[in-house]
Structure formats: C-alpha cells, structure tokens
C-alpha cells in the first residue's frame, strides 16, 4: 500500500487504555488564558516520567467558555484515576491558581469525579466561599488580584487511548520535519486529541526495557540511523531521519482518525519521504492495536 507514492508498512501502533479529563481554563484575555494553559500542560509528554500526558486541545472563543471570557480546552491523560487526581491538583494548583485573572472549569459534563476546587479551596485559609449554580458547586478563593474561581470537581473518562503513533521515515531531517509539521497541523484541527511532545513530534522513540535494569524504556535502536551498521536495523536504504507522532485521544476512534489525517498530511509533500511505519512492541505493551493499512484504507494511490 502507498499513499501519494509513500509506502505504508504492514504494521500497527501499539496503544493502551488511559484515563482522561478535560479542563477549561479562562483568563482576562487570550494572552493570560494561554499562559495558564501552557503552564498547566508543561512537562507532560510521557507518563513514564512526567506523571501524565497533557496538551492544549483547542482555543475557545469567549462565547464558548463558561464565564464568557477567552479560554482554552486542555486534555490531561494518566494511567489511573488516582494518578490523574494527583496531577490535576498539582497542575491546577501550581499553574492555574497562580496565573493572574485565571479561572478553571471541568470540560466534561459526565463521568467519575476528581477533586479540583474542592481540594484547592484550603488555600483560601478559611476565607474561601462556595456558590451553587445550575447544579454545580464553585469555589471562590481570595487572591491578590481578586478571586480564583474554580469548579469543585472535574469529570473524567475511562475509555481514553494513549500512545497512538506513526513513524515518518525520510532521506533527510528537513524533509521529515516538514512532513511532521503538516501532520501535527492537520491533527490539531481535530477534536478530542492531543500530540503531547514538543511541537507534537518525538525524536527519541523508545522500546520497552533496557540493558540497564533501572530503566523501563530505552532508545529504539532499530530506527536510529547512526546504528544501522551495528544493529538489526529496520530502516530502508537511504533513510537518515525518523520522527514519531504520538497521539492521545478521548477514545479509540478519535486516535484512529487523527492517525489517518496525520499520515495523509505527512505524505502530501512526497519527495524526501521513504516510508510510514509505527512503533509497536510485539503486543507486549498495550491491547489497542491500530493497524496502519486499515487506517489508511481509501487513501492509497
């Protein structure tokens, strides 16, 4: 199978179940809402070391936000509700509450609950007050620019999927980077997904395990161009660069759609690309197998 002349390898992306919550962060204007959103989703590329995977899902117009101000929808993913609760309290407490003019709301209306304003209210040192509105409780925590308004709970879903991915293999870094930029831009237009790594792109693709017992993951040596002569390389002739797009989504269909759109966009430039592949671990890591050729059915030409 080929898409725009680029071979699609007969492999699958090995993904896994996750928990996800959506937050809505607003501010006095777009600038301050964005400061809060970026801080909250910082250092959240991989659950391996960051505790969660997070990113900005989309920008909200003032008329779409709960308080009628500019804002952003954020997605935070973790392996369990307990881990998600820990990250939620840490990130909202340290990155939203601290940001001038910010407010924070649950982006899901249904699902199990995670404490949010209900835990952070204690920062108010007894001066905090609650307000019930349309069946929801909000906390008003006094801060030096007025009040931090935060919904008592955030809801989360259990059917999220993390680790959807595809590899873009090409002749040079410039060409592969351009393909990645096209892919991330296309994925960024879709609801319910994020690409949590810097610029949406990963150069340090990993495998399960390491020769060092303390490491749970290590470099995916079969896709490292400088190791071609020293390992059982999986690279086609002429490959000098491999970059990975990792996708987390609120459910499997969202991830599959994002992979499809991303691959289509990546292959649109042709030229320096040699193949599209995916990262998997022989089925040992996760039960969600997203097969590239099934996902790309209908794109082939």
Q: Are 107 and 157 in contact (CB under 8 A)?
A: no
Read off the tokens for 138.
């909000």
261-286 confidence digits (pLDDT tens): 999 999 998 669 999 999 988 777 78
Return the biggest CA–CA distance within the chain: 67
Helix count and strand count (H, E) for the chain = 6, 17
**Class in CATH terms, 19-157:** alpha beta
For 213, phi then psi, to 5°, come to -60, -20
Model pLDDT, residue 270: 67
DSSP state of 100: T
* Shared fold status for 2-15+160-295 and 19-157: yes
Model-level pTM greater than 0.85? yes
Calculate helix-pair angle for 252-266, 173-187, nearest 10 degrees: 140
Read off the tokens for 111.
């699902």
Model pLDDT, residue 299: 84
- Asked: is 2-15+160-295 a CATH 3.30.70.520 domain? The reply is yes
| Three-class DSSP category at 13 | strand
Model pLDDT, residue 269: 80
The residues of the chain scoring below 70 in pLDDT are: 270-271, 301
Q: Is the dihedral of CA 97, 99, 101, 103 positive or negative?
A: negative
Pairwise CA distance, residues 220 & 206, whole Å: 4
Read off the tokens for 25.
């962060």
62-104 confidence digits (pLDDT tens): 999 999 999 999 999 999 999 999 999 999 999 999 999 999 9
> Which sequence spans correspond to the domains of the chain?
2-15+160-295, 19-157
Model pLDDT, residue 267: 94
Model pLDDT, residue 199: 97
Model pLDDT, residue 229: 85
CA 288, 291, 295, 296: dihedral to nearest 10 degrees?
Answer: 160
Pairwise CA distance, residues 102 & 192, whole Å: 23
H/E stretch holding 85: helix 81-91
Pairwise CA distance, residues 231 & 224, whole Å: 9
CA 173, 179, 182, 187: dihedral to nearest 10 degrees?
Answer: -110
């Amino acid at each position: 199978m080929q898409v725009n002349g680029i071979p699609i390898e007969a492999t699958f992306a090995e993904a896994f179940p996750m928990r996800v919550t959506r937050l809505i962060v607003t501010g006095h204007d777009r600038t301050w809402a964005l400061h809060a959103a970026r801080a909250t989703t910082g250092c959240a590329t991989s659950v391996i070391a960051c505790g969660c995977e997070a990113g900005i899902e989309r920008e909200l117009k003032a008329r779409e936000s709960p308080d009628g101000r500019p804002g952003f929808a954020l997605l935070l993913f973790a392996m369990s509700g307990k881990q998600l609760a820990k990250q939620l309290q840490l990130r909202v407490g340290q990155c939203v509450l601290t940001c001038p003019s910010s407010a924070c709301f649950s982006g899901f209306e249904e699902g199990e609950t995670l404490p949010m304003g209900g835990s952070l209210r204690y920062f108010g040192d007894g001066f905090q007050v609650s307000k019930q509105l349309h069946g929801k409780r909000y906390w008003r925590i006094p801060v030096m620019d007025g009040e931090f308004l935060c919904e008592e709970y955030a809801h989360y879903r259990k059917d999220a999927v993390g680790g959807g991915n595809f590899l873009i293999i090409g002749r040079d870094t410039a060409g592969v980077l351009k393909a990645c930029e096209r892919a991330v831009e296309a994925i960024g237009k879709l609801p319910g997904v994020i690409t949590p790594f810097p610029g949406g792109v990963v150069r340090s693709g990993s495998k399960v395990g390491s020769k060092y017992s303390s490491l749970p993951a290590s470099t995916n040596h079969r896709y490292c161009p400088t190791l071609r002569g020293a390992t059982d390389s999986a690279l086609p002739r002429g490959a000098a660069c491999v970059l990975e797009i990792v996708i987390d989504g609120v459910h499997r269909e969202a991830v599959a759609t994002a992979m499809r759109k991303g691959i289509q966009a990546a292959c649109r430039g042709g030229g320096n690309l040699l193949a599209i592949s995916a990262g998997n671990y022989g089925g040992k890591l996760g039960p969600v197998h997203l097969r590239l050729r099934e996902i790309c059915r209908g794109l082939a030409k």
